[in-house]
Amino acid sequence: MIPESDGSAGAGRDGRLALATRQRGGVGVRSNFFWTANRMIAVWVVALLAALVFLLLLADVAGLPHWLVLILSMIVAPVGLIPLLGRLTRQIGQVMGHASKLRPDGTVIPAVALAPSRVLGKELGLQAVGPNASGGSPAALVVLADRVELWSGRNEAGPRWSMSRAGLQIDAGRAQIGIANNWDVVWLSDGLRQLAVSPRYSPKPNGADNDIDRVVRELGQDPAEVRRNSWPERRGSQRIDRRFVVPFYFQMSGANSTAYLPRVERSLVRASAKVTADEVQWLLSTGDWRRMAMGAWFALAVPREEGHEAVLVGMAGSNRDDSALPLAAVSALLTGPDAIGAMETYLDRIVDVPRRDQSFEIVAAAIAHLGGAPPVTPPTWATEAFEELLAVAQDLQQRFRAARA
């Protein structure tokens, strides 16, 4: 697996990543004051159930029917969410006030922050998205002249995440919170880690869409350009996204697949039995990293000659590690040494320090594996990471073929 970058190494190599735990000499990033909305809602549910039991017992003593208590509870329960929302809003305001005090020259954006993986969420002390999440962590996004910082604490000495504006990648999209809730968010990535930030100029979670463009402008980019380059919505694409992309891309992008595959493997294999070569080729041609990542994996399910060219084009045209790493493993497996040219094209494009991420070393390891001459000697960790990705590709290829037999 890819080792976590330490704060000093990350800043020295590409000037983009600085984790608060290392910045402050190992001080934990969690505040003992702030709860994530997930914990707040959990406490609210427990309190509601306890109150319901108490009222039912009281109804027995008073001789009142239980159905009356249940109806009253159904009325009171939604009302109980109002102070909960107010508490979260107050916490965001306190984070903003603290960040503004320490960064008086920055633009401070009220937000809730979400990490796309449990590992990153635990590392940064932020709520993670996913089926078990109920909300996000109170946060403030601080835009400075040279960097963007994420704060989430009333009295912490430093940000939980800091990234250079030169290497910042921005997408406008949605994040699924819980089983059915979708929030409009701005996705921020430094090439190594990614966060979802939902603006809270308005306290309503479903009111964030009106503020996405405002946040993008504060980050110094054109909202129309960001939305155009983000996950495209095209006629006829929603069915493909819903079946082959949305359920899997969090777990199967970048190097995540080696850790998260067991969680989605069964449903991934089922989906592979239905995907067509035309759909795979389209996924790989969109330029969207989510679709390209899943197009790479599903290319293992269709006949080799029908996915060969699309995989190579996708490898050469990939713009970030989320899609480049699955494409490196799949193209190596499906096309062998023919993939070296496409991999070299990818490395040529990201060789600039501000744009480099760990995929540079891993794709170099893929070139070496295929017998080519990479521009750098891949370190041991990169070789091991590529071998793990290749093993995932080989295993999925066998399972996909069995499912389609």
Q: Which residues contact 211 (CB under 8 A, 6 or more apart)?
A: 199, 201, 202
Mean pLDDT of 127-156: 85
Question: Helix, strand or coil for residue 123?
Answer: helix
Query: What is the percentage of the chain residues whose pLDDT exceeds 70?
Result: 79
Expressed in angstroms, the distance from the first to the final Cα of the chain is: 32
| Per-residue pLDDT reduced to its tens digit, 281-293 | 889 988 788 899 9
Residue type, 183: W
The encoded tokens of residue 204 equal: 């309503």
Element holding 142 (H helix, E strand) = strand 137-143
H or E element in which residue 63 lies = none
Q: Residues in the chain, how many? A: 405
| Over residues 68-91, mean pLDDT | 73
User: How many C-beta atoms lie closer than 10 Å to residue 124's C-beta?
Assistant: 24
Helix (H) or strand (E) holding 140: strand 137-143
Name the residue with higher pLDDT: 104 or 47.
104
The pLDDT assigned to 16 comes to 33
* Percent of the chain predicted with pLDDT > 90: 34
- pLDDT band for position 203 (50/70/90)? low
pTM score over 0.85: no
Pull the structure tokens for residue 141. 């996004």
Distance between CA atoms of residues 178 and 201, nearest Å:
22
| Residue 168 Cα to chain centre, angstroms | 14
Residue type, 173: G
Which residues, 6+ apart, have CB-to-CB distance to 270 below 8 Å? 403
- In the sheet that holds 137-143, the strands lie side by side as 18-19, 161-164, 147-151, 137-143, 107-114, 194-199, 181-189, 169-177
Q: Supply 297's token pair.
A: 């994996």
Extract the tokens encoding 369: 């594996």
CA distance 314 to 375: 20
The pLDDT confidence band at residue 31, using thresholds 50, 70 and 90, is low
User: Which of helix, strand or coil describes residue 218?
Assistant: helix
Query: How would residue 14 be classed by pLDDT, with cut points 50, 70 and 90?
Result: very low
**Is the pLDDT confidence value at 339 over 90?**
yes
The pLDDT value given to residue 88:
72
Task: Give the tens place of pLDDT for each residue, 358-373.
Answer: 889 999 999 999 999 9
Whole-angstrom Cα distance, residue 159 to residue 141?
Answer: 9
Say what the pLDDT of residue 219 is: 93
Give the H/E segment covering residue 330: helix 321-335
Answer whether residue 85 shows pLDDT above 60.
yes
The Cβ of residue 340 has, within 10 Å, a number of other Cβ atoms equal to 21
- Take residue 89 and report the two structure tokens written for it: 């809003």
- Spatial separation of the C-alpha atoms in residues 101 and 107, rounded to whole Å: 12
What pLDDT does residue 238 have?
Answer: 75
Per-residue pLDDT reduced to its tens digit, 237-281: 778 888 899 889 888 988 878 887 888 889 999 999 999 998 998
The pairing of strands 169-177 and 181-189 is: antiparallel
Please say whether the beta carbons of 300 and 397 come within 8 A. yes
DSSP secondary-structure letter at 353? G
Structure confidence at residue 126 (pLDDT): 86
Strand, helix or coil at 263? helix
Q: Which of 218, 163, 155 is nearest to 194 (CA)?
A: 163
Give residue 160's identity as a one-letter amino acid code: R
Residue 59, pLDDT > 60, answer: yes
